[in-house]
A and B are shown apart, each in its own frame.
Chain A
């Protein structure tokens, strides 16, 4: 392409417009992307691990999660159904998680039994605090349920 004044200006304003569009897009994204502070985050203390009896699911409102003792291990399961986000209540009688919205059913350990859910219940990383010996859940680390 021969660079004369006209083609220089024509290319120039196109590049300028493209840069403006990129700047506007980037600014909008920075403005609109969700803040880290929104929603629950960080470590949450859950107390003495011994208080969670075997084969029970205990609801922890502060973390919107269940602490489950399967008898073999302790799990932290998100209350949010992986299907469409309804809260999944634990049915004491059947010993299973049963979603009221679309009939998804999960075992105590959060594995998928039936229903339209694409995977098992999501969970969080659990750990024992080295100093206090308290059970701690890290809400920033979500573990996707198994399909």
Chain B
């Protein structure tokens, strides 16, 4: 029977933790011996201690946990606080990355073999169809979740000072997500993808002066062909992932730097308290001599704007590790479970091989562009195709700089909320009409008679 070594013995042997000198891990078991060994300690510098300091150390010593602050306000843990939408979108992106890499092993971006590769994946590769299904549904879900994230961020007023620029980054991520989905739509090279992309890129032609040039560069010629497939493939698997990862990194970094959803008083979710404090202007000489003869130098004057003052209880925070982390693991696993279930239950569509000489009826753009297509049916192309979407996106991009109202609670920002709600409702209604209520020749057919929904 081995005696537990005393603290002094442990210190003599150099087997104590510098930061927790009163504790020594048991070195009696094999695992314990490995964990006390030099190799293990060179990788994991601190033992896992179930103490406040130990939990903080988990965050300090782990590069990945630096995404999180060490402690967060307890209320952030509630699901109602953010619905974890940004996090879910990130999880979906990871799922798409993993399934996308699997797909790349079986896919050649060539008009002669792309469709055959899809059929081969369906019938000849174990779990091939499942991976494709999960990739497809995750992609659609990601567009949806990103939009919901945007909507929630708006209603919470979370784009206001100091988070204005992070909203702009978020809008870039939204645009890239659409780019991802749109470029990926073409790759199976079936009738659905060919004509959806034809109609989608057809919208670009309506941009005055430069529309044709943009469309030509985008699809690599006059009509969709090998050049288009290759371009979309390169964008889809190389350019967009890198750009998205880069901007996502900055986006998440700023979330953390801006206080990780820290509430600063007020009533709104992200409300910041504005207390008028009279600050006497202090003018100090750049350097002066103190009483004892030593020189005192003014190191810097900090702008009051940049000082973040927080007034809250000192003990309203909890450790991110494990409280936040365990929730993220649960939500992440739940997200994966949902897309897996969707992938098992519903097959990703694969129509006949792309045929430039036969347009299927009806030819619809992907669902997130179908609202625009519906709009084009009612207005002049210049208005519906260019002016409305351009004004829509431009306004959204610079929203934090237009909406200067500092209030985050709904009752003090009625105008912004009403305008946003009207535009949002219009977009949703147009999308639903275009996706569900339109048949061949774009005539009105309710989905209970015949559904022409394409996903």
Contacts and interface: CB of A to CB of B under 8 A. Distances in A.
Interface string A54-95: 000000010010000000000000011001111101000000
Interface size class of B (residues with CB under 8 A): 35 or more
B329 to A, nearest CB: 42
Contacts of A80: 223
B217 A32 contact: yes
A33 B217 contact: yes
B76 interface: no
B222 A100 contact: no
A57 B26 CA distance: 89
B359 A38 contact: no
Contacts of B226: 38
A34 interface: yes
B227 interface: yes
Contact of B441 (A39, A84, A87, A98): A98
Nearest to A86: B359
A32 B231 CA distance: 9
B381 A101 contact: no
B442 interface: yes
A88 B163 CA distance: 49
B449 to A, nearest CB: 18
Contact of B199 (A32, A35, A85, A118): A85
B381 A87 contact: no
A35 B225 CA distance: 12
Nearest to B379: A116
Given A100-B363, A102-B441, A103-B443, A38 B199 contact: no
B229 to A, nearest CB: 12
Nearest to A36: B221
Contacts of B225: 38-39
Given A87-B357, A98-B441, A118 B381 contact: yes
Nearest to B358: A87
B382 to A, nearest CB: 8
B406 interface: no
A114 to B, nearest CB: 11
Contacts of A103: 441-443
Contacts of B205: 85
Nearest to A38: B221
Interface of B: 195, 198-199, 201-203, 205-206, 216-217, 219-223, 225-227, 356-363, 373, 376-377, 380-381, 440-443
Interface of A: 32-35, 38-40, 61, 64, 79-80, 83-87, 89, 98-103, 116, 118
Given A34-B219, A34-B222, A39-B222, 4 more contacts: A35-B220, A84-B363, A87-B358, A102-B376
Closest 3 CB pairs of A and B: A84-B202, A38-B221, A85-B202
